């Protein structure tokens, strides 16, 4: 898993069947990457709902949140609509888990992203990372602490 001080690997993933997100286009903003195993699972649903509620806090730190899983763009679209998610859910679908592999958080045996968080600064450097047990919602405290640390440095 990539750690503090590593350069965040660039990627391009689908946010919707019509919209692509390029990490490099977000330079100048802080970026939160929330890798998660699957849409619709109970823990993932709770985690994404929490982050949805936290968006206004992330905005205060000039931070963009991106959820990433191996689910397809249509699955993400249905999940986001049903759960009223207001941030991009990116599809690491084909080749399956390619971006999760770049970040060192792909679980080959199950074919899923692990539950992992990264805070990337405006220059594209990872400033904080955390690998959570798959059955636990990691919450937002670590993300907020990392963003606050960016603000004070």
pLDDT digits over 77-89, tens only? 999 999 999 999 9
Range of the domain at 51: 12-152
Domain-located, residue 4:
no
Domain-located, residue 63:
yes
Q: Among the options 21, 44, 126, 144, which is catalytic?
A: 44
CATH number for the domain spanning 37: value is 3.40.30.10
Domain-located, residue 3:
no
- Residue 91: pLDDT band (50, 70, 90) is very high
Domain-located, residue 21:
yes
Burial code (b: 16+ CB inside 10 Å, e: under 16) for 92-117 equals bbeeebebbeebebbeeeeebbbbbb
Domain-located, residue 67:
yes
Domain-located, residue 104:
yes
pTM for the model: 0.97
Mean pLDDT score of the chain, rounded to an integer? Answer: 96
Question: Is there a catalytic annotation at residue 75?
Answer: no
Domain-located, residue 44:
yes
Quote the number of domains for the chain. 1
């Amino acid at each position: 898993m990539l750690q503090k001080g590593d350069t965040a690997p660039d990627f391009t993933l689908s946010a919707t069947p019509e919209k692509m997100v390029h990490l490099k286009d977000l330079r100048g903003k802080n970026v939160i990457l929330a890798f998660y195993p699957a849409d619709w699972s109970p823990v993932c649903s709770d985690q994404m709902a929490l982050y949805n509620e936290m968006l206004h806090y992330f905005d205060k730190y000039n931070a963009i949140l991106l959820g990433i899983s191996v689910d397809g763009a249509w699955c993400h679209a249905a999940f986001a609509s049903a759960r009223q998610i207001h941030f991009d859910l990116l599809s690491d679908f084909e080749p399956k888990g390619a971006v999760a592999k770049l970040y060192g958080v792909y679980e080959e045996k199950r074919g899923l992203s692990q539950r992992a968080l990264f805070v990337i600064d405006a220059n594209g450097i990872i400033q904080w990372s955390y690998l959570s047990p798959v059955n636990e919602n990691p919450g937002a405290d670590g993300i907020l602490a990392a963003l606050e640390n960016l603000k004070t440095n």
